[in-house]
């Protein structure tokens, strides 16, 4: 077969693949958060103070921490574990309040940035680059944080495994503070179905094409944003970002089944009063 014919066939397969609905939580490319180029784009997104991107905007982060300290009495001497701490935007501010924080993240770039910042600011931080599925703490922390919907990205089995790890890491009576997205957010953002050409950007440093396709699994409150990235040299990678959204009822059931009970809920981690139909549910759950 001619080279150009093979190329055409490959492109045709990519297009066909881009509209095939995957099995729920079917894996895509494993290297995402720690990919050398994507992690650079992610760090830029984390550090943009004005956009809710990889982290929320600075104003929201500051309000959230004010709420944690004033209303939840997270105080000097408490031991906090921040799972998926990114570049340490929450961890470093908590540490500056005298709280002892351990930050875990799988992205080397984010952890390197966080460590460098901590040195510059004279903060005694414990930042560790590893997967939060590989931690092994037993009864160490007063509080575990997981901020910006990370719990929604896992299948039920994987989520329950993580809740078990968090439960074990907490002291008796310790608190797990996190947020989950709801179906309302997903419906507002809507299905994406487009392709674009880039000279270099978020996914790749050089010329590439992205086939972006959203898939809805309404009976499971699950959603997939899929990105097929085609490089100029013909390399093709499929990235799958899964979201399992929750309602107050479903997240309560999950927590109860995994040894937690809900202490507080809000519509946002800054302490906004909970309203049915909100985009997010922020939760403080007590280990029982």
Chain residue at closest Cβ approach to ligand SAM:
84
Which CB atom, from 75 or from 108, has the smaller least distance to ligand SAM?
108
| Residue 98 beta carbon to ligand SAM: minimum distance, rounded to whole angstroms | 21
Which CB atom, from 215 or from 243, has the smaller least distance to ligand SAM?
243
Rg of the chain on CA atoms, in Å: 20
Q: What is the DSSP letter of 273?
A: P
Q: Which of residues 213-242 bind ligand SAM (CB under 6 A)?
A: none
Q: Does 33 bind ligand SAM (CB under 6 A)?
A: yes
Residue whose tokens read 């050409």: 197
**What ranges in 48-202 are assigned the alpha helix state H?**
58-71, 91-96, 108-121, 156-169, 183-189
Which CB atom, from 89 or from 177, has the smaller least distance to ligand SAM?
89
Kindly tell me the burial class for residue 39, based on how many C-beta atoms sit within 10 Å of its own C-beta (0-12, 13-18, 19 or more).
buried
Binding mask 92-131 for ligand SAM (x = CB under 6 A): ------------xxxx--x--------------------x
Around Cβ 114, how many Cβ atoms within 10 Å? 26
Q: Can you tell me the distance from the alpha carbon of 121 to that of 110, in angstroms, rounded to the nearest whole number?
A: 16
Task: Choose which of 150, 216, 225, 279 interacts with ligand SAM (CB under 6 A).
Answer: 150
Applying CB under 6 A, the residues found at the interface with ligand SAM are 33, 54-55, 84-86, 89, 104-107, 110, 131-133, 147-148, 150
């Amino acid at each position: 077969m001619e080279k150009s014919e093979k190329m055409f066939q490959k492109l045709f397969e990519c297009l066909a693949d881009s509209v095939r609905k995957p099995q729920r939580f079917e894996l895509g490319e494993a290297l995402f958060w720690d990919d050398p180029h994507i992690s650079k784009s992610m760090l830029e997104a984390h550090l943009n103070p004005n956009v809710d991107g990889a982290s929320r905007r600075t104003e929201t982060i500051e309000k959230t921490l004010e709420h944690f300290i004033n209303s939840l009495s997270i105080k000097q001497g408490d031991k906090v574990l921040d799972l998926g701490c990114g570049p340490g935007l929450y961890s470093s501010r908590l540490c500056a309040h005298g709280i002892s924080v351990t930050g875990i993240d799988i992205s080397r770039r984010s952890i390197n940035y966080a460590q460098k910042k901590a040195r510059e600011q004279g903060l005694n931080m414990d930042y560790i680059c590893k997967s939060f599925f590989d931690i092994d703490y037993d009864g160490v922390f007063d509080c575990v944080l997981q901020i910006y919907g990370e719990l929604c990205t896992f299948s039920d089995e994987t989520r329950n495994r993580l809740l078990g790890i968090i439960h074990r890491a907490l002291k008796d009576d310790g608190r797990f503070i996190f947020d989950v997205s709801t179906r309302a957010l997903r419906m507002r953002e809507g299905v994406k179905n487009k392709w674009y050409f880039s000279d270099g950007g978020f996914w790749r440093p050089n010329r590439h094409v992205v086939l972006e396709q959203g898939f809805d699994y309404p009976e499971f409150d699950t959603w997939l944003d899929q990105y097929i990235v085609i490089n100029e040299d013909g390399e093709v990678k499929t990235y799958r970002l899964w979201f399992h959204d929750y309602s107050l009822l479903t997240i309560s059931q999950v927590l109860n089944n995994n040894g937690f009970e809900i202490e507080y809920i809000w519509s946002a981690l800054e302490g906004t009063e909970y309203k049915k139909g909100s985009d997010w549910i922020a939760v403080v759950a007590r280990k029982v």
